[in-house]
Chains A and B, each alone.
Chain A
Amino acid sequence: MSVAHEPAVTEPLALELGLSKDEWQVLLRLLDGRLPTYPELGVFSAMWSEHCSYKSSRIHLKNLPTEGPRVIQGPGENAGVVDIGDGWAVAFKMESHNHPSFIEPYQGAATGVGGILRDVFTMGARPLANLNSLRFGEIDAPRMKGLVKGVAAGIAGYGNCMGIPMLGGDCAFDASYNGNILVNAFTLGVLRSDKIFKGFASGIGNKMMYIGSKTGRDGIHGASMASAEFGEGSEEKRPTVQVGDPFTEKLLLEACLEIFQTDWVIGIQDMGAAGLTSSSFEMASRAGTGLEIRLDQVPMREEGMTPFELMLSESQERMLLVARPGCEEKIIAVLHKWGLDACVVGEVTDSGRFIGSWHGEPVINLPIQPLVDAAPKYDRPRQRPGYLDAVAAAPLPADLKPAEVERTLRQLLQAPTVASKRWIFEQYDGTVRSNTLLGMGRGDAGIIRVKDEAGQDTGKAVAMSSDCNSRFCYLDPFWGAAHAVAEACRNLACVGAEPIGLTDCLNYGNPEKPENMWTFEQGCLGIRQACLALDVPIVSGNVSLYNDTEGQSIFPTPMIAAVGLIEDCSGPVVLGAPDATALSKVGNRLCGASFRAAHDGIFLLGETRDELGGSEYLKLRTGKVQGACPELRLDEELRLQACVREGIRLGLIRSAHDTSEGGLVVAALESAFGANDGEGMGCQLMLTRGALRLDSLLFGETAGRIVVSVSAEAESSLATLCATHRVPFAKIGATGGARFTLAVDGQPLLDAEAAELKGLHAGALEAALG
């Protein structure tokens, strides 16, 4: 049976599918001069796309530290796996879905969540929690309100239907994302450390099985779309949008976890980007085997589908697995029980080749390992961008006058990046499955309890946080990336957790521009430096390049998600109770960000320096992102984090919140806004200026600072603890009352009703979205 409507394979067609002229020549050599068939050309263009081959980024990714005593599985599999003790492990990864979300925000974001969930449960893990990191343009930019709403709804739609709680994330707005938003999704799952499933197609003669949804013409060539810039013409090139079906994925999750309880599965991999192509080539390449796939036996949703389409479709909710001989029927029975398709589509062979047949006729016959090995690997030219010196040297405006403090604070509280993200995160289910110990908006990191298969508490809890200040990365690509690592780990410290592993999602611009490539390299090196200093490895990750529109690149955005462990977290927890109750029940081993009681002392741990560069305040004053990136002192950072963790473990620290966008006053206010179970309370800040500029003191974004509150009785113990860890500290105020007052060197600067400021902060985003 022949295939209709297949274009003739020519060099121009190959270029159109995204291959370069050089790559076309390599391809011809690999085939000994014969022309590829059309589906073969599709395989090449997908496998050698930036998205699948990491051709520009691989040589720099080697710099990332990926080893540690707890690491069971580092980068290279569907997700990284880290040991959490007593036979348990967590699998996690973060992945981008930037380009699809810009084209169709709801489905793009939803399928991003679906994809990362599959990556995690493919490993044999039951997903416990999600995070998401979002970057949007200015709210008034064209289409932006719709993108924000669509992305939030899409994430909620998929995650909530799957019944996976959202534990947190971060969201910022900057003009650099006006034409290219970022949607990075993270999932963490739990599994037995001796029962990890991997994508290996091993065992000659074993059957390859297709399970899950039928294949349609979804997102044909999404992987090569993600590897090209958007331009005026991208309207026309739009492939069929992938639509997520979370209820089917829930069935696939339960079916997979059911068959994972048996020994029927030898290898399994999710069909993600480049669908059947990348899953089959990667599985065979890892095992050093060959594959024969009968494409006509792949379950199809539509009539008239071609081998090209079947190889490249990105239909969601599908897996490719290798069955233990004789177990095929049992696997099919389980999948049918859950209402899903399952069938044998081929075999593992010893030929080292991928043979794709169509009604008995081979239409694809390619060597697997040579194709993978010959995947281009570029050491692209790098050049330090010229703008760096100019932004660093930009003069600062005159210091803020005392009379301007209140107006500035009110503006900052309403800036979209600083304002409460309540409008977004209230759409997400944060407590489904009832394991959430610290949910969205309540702490610097989310915390979830780990239960076993029977629902029994293991006594362990896992904390997670994702961060990246891309303005810092723009000002200093190296230190900005290091800041992202430090802040993600600092957020874990603020809830009392020890960092055990990181995953990254490196979002950068077009790698063919030397400036972007230099920036990318610096980002990897900065991450390396911070990881080594803080002694935490990167165990999985994803790279998203070509984040450009009309030649304009986004700010470098190396998103970092940190995962931390709380070893002993057993005991009853009152769900939905105010922080004071919920957290004291677990013996103060966890810590939220909100003040817990009136008349507690407020302390600042860490030192404030004259650092306004990249701050929200400076953006507000000058309209520009400029200045020097704040310094990151990694040795001080390490001591600070250890100090706060110990203070939480000892039960001294009642709340901890790191200073980030908006600076010290905003951080203290955020702790006040969340107090009394979200009702909020007042506080009185009394700051000492010393030699600092007033604006640096109040709104500068010096890193490595944490605002904590302690009871009056604990103040001297905190002083001792800080001295032991050599962490600078200062009492900066007291909690309580209904008003927020601010005084600097004894001079009152501000006296406002706390509830009114809280209202500004809480309502700004919703108001801006209209």
Chain B
Amino acid sequence: MKVRVSVQLKPGILDPQGKAVEQGLHGFGFEVEHVRIGRLIELDIPGADPAEVKARAQAMCDKLLVNPVMEKASIEVL
């Protein structure tokens, strides 16, 4: 099953990349605030039970995909 994991910095963590992009957008005259940049991970996990697939994706997040000190993930089974 296709799974989409969206990883974002936890609230309050400084995001220098987001800050740079925000400044860039301001340079083009856009009005925008609080730009935060994360990453999107697509996975294809064998299985038919969405709950089980989601649990396995969660295990992958815990082990490797997410830095639990700074990031949080939301998992979507498509």
Point out residues on A near B: beta carbons under 8 Å: 103-104, 107, 213, 216-218, 238, 240-245, 247-248, 301-302, 315-316, 339
Q: How many A-B residue pairs have CB under 8 A?
A: 38
CB nearest neighbor in A for B10? A240
- Identify which of residues 1-40 in chain B touch chain A, using a CB-to-CB cut-off of 8 Å: 10-16, 19-20, 23
Q: Which residues of A contact B11 (CB under 8 A)?
A: 302
When the two chains form their complex, are residues B23 and A339 in contact, meaning their CB atoms are under 8 A apart? yes
Contact among B14, B16, B23, B69 with A103 in the assembled complex (CB-CB below 8 Å): B69
Report if B43 contacts A (CB, 8 A): no
Give the contacting residue for B13; candidates A243, A247, A248, A316; CB below 8 A.
A243
Within 8 A of A (CB), among B54-78: 67, 69-70
Chain B nearest CB, measured from A477 CB (Å): 34
Are A104 and B70 interface neighbours, CB within 8 A?
Answer: yes
Decide: A104 and B12 in contact? CB cutoff 8 A. no
Nearest CB to that of A104 among chain B residues? B69
What A residues does B12 contact at CB under 8 A? 216-218, 240, 302
> Which residue of A has the minimal Cβ distance to B67?
A104
In the complex formed, the residue of A with least CB distance to B19 is A245
Contact A301-B14, Cβ < 8 Å, known A245-B19, A339-B23 = yes
12 residue pairs bridging A and B, Cβ less than 8 Å apart: A103-B69, A107-B70, A218-B14, A240-B10, A240-B12, A242-B14, A243-B15, A243-B70, A244-B16, A247-B20, A248-B16, A339-B23
Q: How far is the CA of A512 from the CA of B17 in the complex (A)?
A: 42
Pair A243/B69 contact, Cβ less than 8 Å: no
Partner of A238, one of B15, B20, B23, B69: B69
Interface of A is mostly: loop
Q: Could you tell me the distance in whole angstroms from the C-beta of B53 to the nearest C-beta in chain A?
A: 27
Question: B35 CB to closest chain A CB, in angstroms?
Answer: 12
Question: Nearest chain-B residue to A243 (Cβ)?
Answer: B14
- Identify the interface centre among A241, A248, A301, A339: most chain B CB within 10 Å of its CB: A241
CB distance from A695 to the nearest CB of B (A): 44
Minimum-distance CB pairs A-B, first 7? A243-B14, A245-B16, A217-B12, A104-B69, A240-B12, A241-B70, A216-B14
Q: Which residues of B contact A316 (CB under 8 A)?
A: 14
Contacts A243-B13, A245-B14 given; 9 further ones with Cβ under 8 A?
Answer: A103-B69, A218-B14, A240-B10, A241-B13, A243-B14, A247-B16, A247-B20, A302-B11, A339-B23
Is the beta-carbon distance between B67 and A315 smaller than 8 angstroms? no
Among the interface residues A238, A245, A247, A315, which one has the most CB atoms of the partner chain B within 10 A? Answer: A245
Which chain A residue shows the least CB distance to B69? A104
State A339–B67 Cα separation when bound (angstroms): 30
Provide the bound-state CA to CA distance between A216 and B18, in Å.
14
Q: Please, which residues of chain B bring their CB within 8 A of the CB of A216? A: 12, 14
- The CA-CA distance from A238 to B13 in the complex, in Å, is 13
For B67, the chain A residues whose CB sits under 8 A away are: 104
What's the minimum C-beta distance from B4 to chain A, rounded to whole angstroms?
A: 26
Give every chain A residue within 8 A of B14 (Cβ-Cβ): 213, 216, 218, 242-243, 245, 301, 315-316
User: Contacts of A103 on B, CB cut-off 8 Å?
Assistant: 69
Q: In the complex, A243→B13 CA distance in Å?
A: 7
Cα separation A241 to B12 with both chains bound (whole Å):
9
Q: Which residues of A contact B10 (CB under 8 A)?
A: 240
State the CA gap A579–B52 with chains docked (Å).
Answer: 61
**CA distance in complex: A121, B15 (Å):** 24
B57 to chain A, nearest CB (A): 21
Q: Give the Cβ gap from B46 to chain A, nearest Cβ, in Å.
A: 27
For residue B19, which residues in chain A have a CB less than 8 angstroms away from its CB? 245
Q: Check A240 against B13 for contact (C-beta < 8 Å).
A: yes
A239, closest chain B residue (CB)? B12
- Bound complex: CA of A622 vs CA of B11, how far in Å? 50
- Which residues from A are CB-within-8-Å of B70? 104, 107, 241, 243
Complex-state Cα separation, A216 to B70, whole angstroms: 14
- Residues of chain B within 8 A of A241, CB atoms compared: 13, 69-70
The answer to whether B16 and A243 have CB atoms under 8 Å apart is yes
Residues of B within 8 A of A104 (CB): 67, 69-70
Least distance between A341 CB and chain B CB atoms (Å):
12
* Min CB–CB distance A38 → chain B (angstroms): 19
- When distances are taken between beta carbons in the complex, the residues of chain A under 8 Å from B23 are 339
B12 CB to nearest A CB, Å = 4
A315: chain B residues within 8 A (beta carbon): 14
CA distance A240 to B15 in the complex (A): 13
| Distance, CA A216 to CA B15, complexed state (A) | 11
Tell me the complex Cα distance, A105–B23, Å.
Answer: 28
Q: Which chain A residues border B69 with CB–CB below 8 Å?
A: 103-104, 238, 241
Q: What is the CB-to-nearest-CB distance from B33 to chain A, in angstroms, rounded to a whole number? A: 10
Give the residue name and chain of the B residue nearest to A245 (CB): B16
Distance between Cα atoms of A731 and B74 in the complex (Å) = 68
Which residues of chain A are within 8 angstroms of B13 by Cβ–Cβ distance? 218, 240-241, 243
A733 to B2, CA, bound (A): 67
Please measure, in the bound complex, the distance between the C-alpha atom of A103 and the C-alpha atom of B69, giving whole angstroms.
8
In the complex, A238→B68 CA distance in Å?
11
Most buried by A among B20, B23, B67, B69: B69
Q: Note all chain B residues with C-beta closer than 8 A to A245.
A: 14, 16, 19
Residues on B with C-beta less than 8 A from A248 are: 16
Report the nearest B residue to A150, measured CB to CB: B67
Assembled-state Cα–Cα distance A301/B15 (Å): 11
**B8 → chain A, closest Cβ, in Å?**
14
Bound-state Cα–Cα, A302 to B16, Å: 14
Q: Tell me the smallest distance from the CB of A724 to a CB of chain B, in Å.
A: 57
**Alpha-carbon gap, A103 to B68, bound state (A):** 10
- Distance from A113 Cβ to chain B, minimum over Cβ atoms (Å): 15
